[in-house]
A = this chain, B = another copy of it.
Amino acid sequence: MREFVLRALKARSDPHFDITDLPSAGRMDVVCRCISNALFISNDVRRDTIFHVVFDGPSNPPKTVSFYGDSVKDLYFDELSIAKTLRKALSKKLEKDKIIESAPGVFVQKLGFEPLVSLKIKTHQLIYLHEKGADIRSVLLKKDLLFVFGDYIGMPKKTEVFLDNLGALRVSISPIMLFASHTITIVHNELDRRSF
């Protein structure tokens, strides 16, 4: 399985944003492009992929919305369609330790970045996508992978210490700084090449 965790530090954690102005909602457009690139290929969905977004922006952080490639349905892959799906998920009333399915294959819960990653660490190889990491083309990758990465702001120093303590492997995908959404495409491409 390929799992990704995007930490969106400014993206709104409530549904009060204008669908026609996603950049103003803490760069919700970046979040939507990441989801689209993670889940969709030409004429198909990546069924081996799970994509989590941790929303740390106002007004009710943190929340985690998770997309399961093997069960999403009727999800279209342009930014506006994905934003509508996110708005629906972020409008759900949440209780501690409860997960709500807001649309087929789309789940929302009151969960922050560190607890989410801690849940996965026993079963997944943890990879922190970072510009100064080892080149992905030369890294040994296991079967079950958890890629974590920041949005346009990057990760807070405290989170980097947390990831280091968990033994996260820092991996880079490019000699220049790219968008988070590009990063996902390149990670998938490397894994696709190794799968065939």
**Which residues of A are at the interface with B, using a C-beta cutoff of 8 A?**
19-23, 29, 33, 36-37, 40-43, 76-81, 152, 173-179, 182, 185-186, 188-189, 192-193, 195-196
Partner of A182, one of B19, B37, B43, B195: B37
- Complex Cα spacing A129 to B196, Å: 19
A80-B179 contact, Cβ under 8 Å, with A174-B193, A189-B174: no
Partner of A79, one of B43, B80, B185: B80
CB neighbours (8 Å) of A20 from chain B are 19-20, 80
CB neighbours (8 Å) of A78 from chain B are 22-23, 29, 79
Partner of A41, one of B80, B176, B189: B176
Q: Are A189 and B173 in contact (CB under 8 A)?
A: yes
A23 shortest CB reach to chain B, Å: 6
Determine how many copies of this chain the complex contains. 2
A93 shortest CB reach to chain B, Å: 28
Beyond contacts A42-B152, A43-B177, A79-B79: 12 other A-B pairs, Cβ-Cβ < 8 A, are A20-B20, A29-B78, A29-B79, A41-B176, A41-B182, A42-B177, A42-B179, A78-B79, A174-B189, A175-B193, A178-B189, A182-B185
CB neighbours (8 Å) of A173 from chain B are 189
Which residue of the partner chain B has the closest CB to A179? B42
- Complex Cα spacing A36 to B178, Å: 12
Which residue of the partner chain B has the closest CB to A76? B23
Q: Are A41 and B178 in contact (CB under 8 A)?
A: yes
CB neighbours (8 Å) of A37 from chain B are 182
